[in-house]
Structure 1
Amino acid sequence: MASPSEFDEVYAATAPRLIGQLYLVIGDLPEAQDCVQEAYARAWTRWDRLTRDGADPVGWVKTTAYRLAISRWRHYTAGLRAMARHGVPPDLPPPSADAIAVRDALAVLPKGMRAALVLYYLGGLRVAEVAEALEIPQGTVKARLARGRAALAGLLADPAGTEGWEMTHA
């Protein structure tokens, strides 16, 4: 089994060179850094297989980094083509003070509760659909919604602002 220090040594010895090579190919240093970092993160999860029988993992990492860069480039160019076909999206107005207050209040809540509230109230999903999306029982969704509403009521400056948060999608 490979040790974390072996991974660290390979990373330190090869990442800068790989970033430089990828930068020369794609012309974007932050993107090259991101692709190499992602490739090493993926390598870490399978490090034992990549180094089995003394194999050199750098080739796998290099191939993965290049593939990530190509994939990202394809997504980027597809976005450019879509923008050329449909035009630049209209400027959106900044979020309202109420939207910012709700965002800030939601950020304080536990992730699971926040996800249930957003999927149900903003995503328009039913309790059963939220349960399926989060892979939790419907009763847990209902409990998170009830506790989340109560927590939001306490966090938001205007308690009357929680009107309309009733469970209507059940």
Structure 2
Amino acid sequence: MDPEIDLRDLYAASAGRLVAQLYGMTGDFAEAQDAVQEAFARAVAQPAGVRAAANPEAWLFKVASNIARSRHRRRALFDRLARSGRLTVAATTPALSPDHVALVAALQKLTRATRETVVLHHIADLPVAEVATILGISVESVKVRLLRGRRALAEVLRDAEMESSHV
């Protein structure tokens, strides 16, 4: 493959075909899309593999199909564990409240770093020091991100509430 080829061009030219092929293989359109996206993410992270391939689309198909097979094996293992009684599976997933949906939407408007910090501290309920260790930053940096995150969330949620009250 030409080392100068743009992965965006490759994506535009082959992603649809790859999703269709994986959909036929898995029977699950969302799974097919996820596997193809993961294959492209791996190509972006380590472009040498796809660039060295004689047929880049075939390389991506192989990677995507391996991803889909691995996910299928993990799901099958989980299902076997659940059926064996060694793992208790909740009968139903609790419904998401409108507040929860609004919070997740607001979190998406934060920077990745701030969002990770807020989620680890407020949702995963980890202490500030542990969040700092996980993220590899200082305790002070965690505190600053939390402060900024809370302020931004308050503003986004306040704006969303105002918009919904005017509808």
Fold equivalence (TM over 0.5): yes
**Identity percentage of aligned residues:** 38
SS in 2 for 1:43: helix
Which letter maps to 2:70?
Answer: S
Q: Relative to structure 2, which stretch is displaced further, 122-131 or 37-46?
A: 37-46
Residue in structure 1 matched with residue 64 of structure 2 by the alignment: 65
- Take 1:155 and 1:9, find their aligned partners in 2: how far apart are those partners? 37
Residues 119-158 of structure 1: pairs in structure 2 closer than 5 A: 119-149=120-150
What letter matches 2:117 in structure 1? A
* AA at the equivalent of 2:137: I
Q: Give distance in 2, aligned partners of 1:10 and 1:97.
A: 36
The corresponding residue for 1:162 is: none
Q: Which amino acid aligns with 1:36?
A: V
Secondary structure of the structure 1 residue equivalent to 2:43: helix
- Alpha-carbon offset, residue 3 of structure 1: 2.3
8 Å contact from structure 2 (residues 39, 63) kept in 1: yes
| 1:24 to 1:129, Cα distance in 2 relative to 1, 3 A | same
Distance 1:142 1:72, change over 3 A: same
Deviations 1:51-108 (A, max 9, x none): 34x8333442232122111101112212322332245414354456765665566555
Amino acid at match of 2:13: A
2:9 maps to amino acid: D
Which residue in 1 is equivalent to 2:163?
none
* In 1: Cα distance, 2:70 partner to 2:129 partner: 35
> Structure 1's 2 and 140: CA in aligned 2 closer, same or farther, altered over 3 A?
same
Name the aligned partner's letter for residue 73 of structure 2. R
Structure-2 residue corresponding to 1:82: 81
SS at match of 2:90: coil
Residue equivalent to 1:2:
4
SS at structure 1 position matched to 2:143: helix
Determine the C-alpha separation between the residues in 2 that align with 1:10 and 1:152. 34
Instruction: List runs of 5+ in structure 2 lacking aligned partners.
Output: 159-167
Cα distance, 1:13–1:115 mapped onto 2, change above 3 Å: closer
RMSD, aligned α-carbons: 3.8
- The number of aligned residues is 154
TM-score by length of 2: 0.63
Once residues 125 and 92 of structure 2 are traced to their aligned partners in structure 1, the CA distance between those partners, rounded to angstroms, is 25
